[in-house]
Chain A
Amino acid sequence: GRPWSNPEAQEDPAHLSKSRLRSDLVSHNVELPPAGSKKEVYLKLHLEHVDQGNAAGFSSDEDDQVLYAPGGDRVDTKIPDPTALSDKDLKDLLLKYGVKAGPIVASTRAVYEKKLRKLLQSDGNEGLNEAETAVLYSDSDEEGEENGDLEDEKESEEEKERINEALELNQKQCNEHLQEPVKNILKDLIPEAKTTPTGIYVTPRRPIKGAAQRPILYGYPDTPVSPTTLERRDVERRLVPIYVQILVFFIVLYILYFISINV
């Protein structure tokens, strides 16, 4: 069976917990009331925005395969509430978005829920059904055969969306980072590039040493010098100690001479 088909339709919102109402509102892109508001406030908003979508004559169970709701209202009612997901479902759904999640334990649950919420919100406008129903169907064996083809189609669309998303993210991050000093661009771009799902990576061109007021960041190898310059540098290095050595030599000579005279 499907773990979370139409939870809002089946439960009276008044029976939902405040945090559940809150996350429903978030997934419907409804502005949250100020923190610390009473449950009634959340409930009211929930009834206004979320249940409106349900009341618009939206799907019975058979209509689950419809990707876009008629009449322009968003397909938000299909978005699973990350808080309500089981650990396994949360992990699977994250995997659909290309996120290889680690163990979902008490301390990691919140972080992964937050990540999923972020992914869901950015994906909400494009019709989430593909990812979600794919998870639904993959969970139940009985429905597996029938929906095999559907799943494939949905997955390739998913992938395209994921690639677009990743590209957008990359673009956005690149633009943001341009504001920071040069050093950070390199540090941030290079590690980022390794993890892009698209496999696109950047190798920054080394800036021309000293050109256009660019600070010299790399230690370029020494410019080639002529042998005479090297010699001169060598001699210069030893000049001072040599003087000391010669001086000491003569002093010792003088002392010896002085002694030999007096003997």
Chain B
Amino acid sequence: MLQLCPHICDPAMSSTSQKHKEFVAEPMGEKPVNALAGIGEVLGKKLEEKGFDKAYVVLGQFLVLKKDEELFKDWLKDTCGANAKQQRDCYGCLKEWCDAFL
């Protein structure tokens, strides 16, 4: 097989998940809350029970906390019991979305 293309995939790019990339690629519209990176089925359900049934509602909370990382992560932990990685993923996802679209 002739290796004509020397281009190799940059391993650093895989630090954000596919979910994150998909979310950040377009306006969130009516996407459900488990479209957020870090929020799976279990956490999604807990958030829905508290009334955060769409991603934009969580976005609302993120914005009202003035996009503060610590406060948002605390809120997420208190509301649905997210662990540190999930908090980090969700925060990063929302932050990047805001940087792109807000």
Chain A window 90-115, contacts with chain B (Cβ cutoff 8 Å), 1 for yes, 0 for no: 00000000001011010110111011
Quick check: which of B17-25, B31-39, B40-48, B69-77 contacts chain A, the rest being far away?
Answer: B69-77
Bound-state CA distance A114–B66 (Å) is 17
Q: Does A212 contact B (CB under 8 A)?
A: no
Q: Does B64 contact A (CB under 8 A)?
A: yes
Which of A108, A219, A240, A241 is the one whose CB lies under 8 Å from B65? A108
A102 x B65 contact (CB < 8 A): yes
- Considering only residues 1-38 of chain B, those with a C-beta below 8 Å from chain A are 2, 4, 6, 12
Chain A interfacial residues counted at CB < 8 A: 16
A102/B66 contact (C-beta < 8 A), A107-B61, A240-B2 known: yes
Which of B6, B12, B64, B68 is the one whose CB lies under 8 Å from A105? B64
Q: Does A191 contact B (CB under 8 A)?
A: yes
CB A237 to nearest CB in B, in angstroms, measures 8
Q: Does B99 contact A (CB under 8 A)?
A: no
Chain A window 112-143, contacts with chain B (Cβ cutoff 8 Å), 1 for yes, 0 for no: 10110000000000000000000000000000
CB B95 to nearest CB in A, in angstroms, measures 10
Which of B12, B61, B64, B78 is the one whose CB lies under 8 Å from A114? B78
CB A119 to nearest CB in B, in angstroms, measures 12
A191/B74 contact (C-beta < 8 A), A102-B64, A240-B2 known: no
A residues in contact with B71, CB < 8 Å: 108, 111-112, 115
B64 x A108 contact (CB < 8 A): yes
B66 x A111 contact (CB < 8 A): no
CB A222 to nearest CB in B, in angstroms, measures 13
Bound-state CA distance A241–B5 (Å) is 12
Bound-state CA distance A237–B5 (Å) is 10
A111 x B65 contact (CB < 8 A): yes
The 16 sampled A-B contact pairs (Cβ below 8 Å) are: A100-B66, A102-B64, A102-B66, A103-B64, A105-B64, A107-B61, A108-B64, A108-B65, A108-B75, A110-B75, A111-B71, A111-B78, A112-B71, A115-B74, A191-B69, A240-B2
**Residues of chain B at the chain A interface (Cβ within 8 Å):** 2, 4, 6, 12, 61, 64-66, 68-69, 71, 74-75, 78
Instruction: Given contacts A107-B75, A110-B75, list 10 more A-B pairs with CB under 8 A.
Output: A105-B64, A107-B64, A110-B78, A111-B71, A114-B74, A114-B78, A191-B69, A219-B12, A241-B2, A241-B4
Name the 3 nearest CB pairs between A and B, nearest first. A102-B66, A111-B75, A111-B71
